[in-house]
Amino acid sequence: MLARSITVRGIVQGVGFRPFIYRLAVQYGLKGWVNNSNEAVHIHIEGSDHEINQFLQAIQLQAPPAAHIISMEVEETEPISLHEFEILDSSNVSEAVTRVSPDIAVCEECLHDMLTQPHRRHYPLINCCHCGPRFSIIEQLPYDRPNTTMRVFEMCDKCRQEYTDPSDRRFHAQPVACNNCGPRYTLYYEQEDTVLKIDRIDDILAWMAK
């Protein structure tokens, strides 16, 4: 049994990197953990030499499209006989800061969900690990929901189920939200003591076109 400590720097927060590492480790049967810090993504893995080498190669070759790895430091360390791989809470390890992903345009899968998922039907702020707000909502690093403007929106049961499911596209997607629990927009138009309240964007556009 071997163990490696890995530090990955670059645009590796807000791009689905921790869920990617989790799935990769499970795929190769490795034990350990991954977490964010304010300066990087940190990984501890335990397994055979062959499995670890495959894992390291896959990080470079299969990283999420929005990720940009600038450096990956790998050091030998002592195994501590872990029994699973998990995503740990984030930490602050220094005053250095990592790069932050820009906001990412909505992906095709989310556009499909917008039409097919009842709780996200026509929800304009839909997002997943591959798309959605990043730079515009983050207030400080590490990139976690409590450090973003999304912290005031508590996930509903459906969103939390997706957030905690390793097989779901929204696994650890920090801005995850829907019609039941996420931010909303409303147009208020006041004229002659009458307030017009419209919540759907297509209705707003139709009203403005009159």
Give the pLDDT confidence of 140-196 residue by residue, as tens digits: 889 999 999 999 999 999 999 999 999 999 999 999 999 999 998 776 666 655 556
Beta strands 85-87; 31-36: pairing state:
parallel
Nearest C-alpha neighbor of 45 from the set 98, 7, 14: 7
Q: Which domain holds residue 36?
A: 2-87
At 55, which CATH number?
3.30.70.100
- Distance in angstroms (rounded) separating the CA atoms of residues 110 and 117: 10
Nearest C-alpha neighbor of 126 from the set 104, 95, 96, 157: 104
Count of CB atoms situated within 10 Å of the CB of 128: 21
The string over 26-39, giving b where at least 16 C-beta atoms fall within 10 Å of a residue's C-beta and e elsewhere, is eebebbbbbbbbbb
- Domain end call among 87, 117, 149: 87
Tens of pLDDT, residues 29-47: 999 999 999 889 999 999 9
At 207, which CATH number?
3.90.870.30
In this predicted structure, what is the pLDDT of residue 124? Answer: 86
Would you give the end-to-end CA distance of the chain in angstroms? Answer: 70
When the pLDDT of each residue in the chain is averaged and rounded to a whole number, the result is 90
In this predicted structure, what is the pLDDT of residue 131? Answer: 95
Residues 201, 119, single domain; the answer is yes
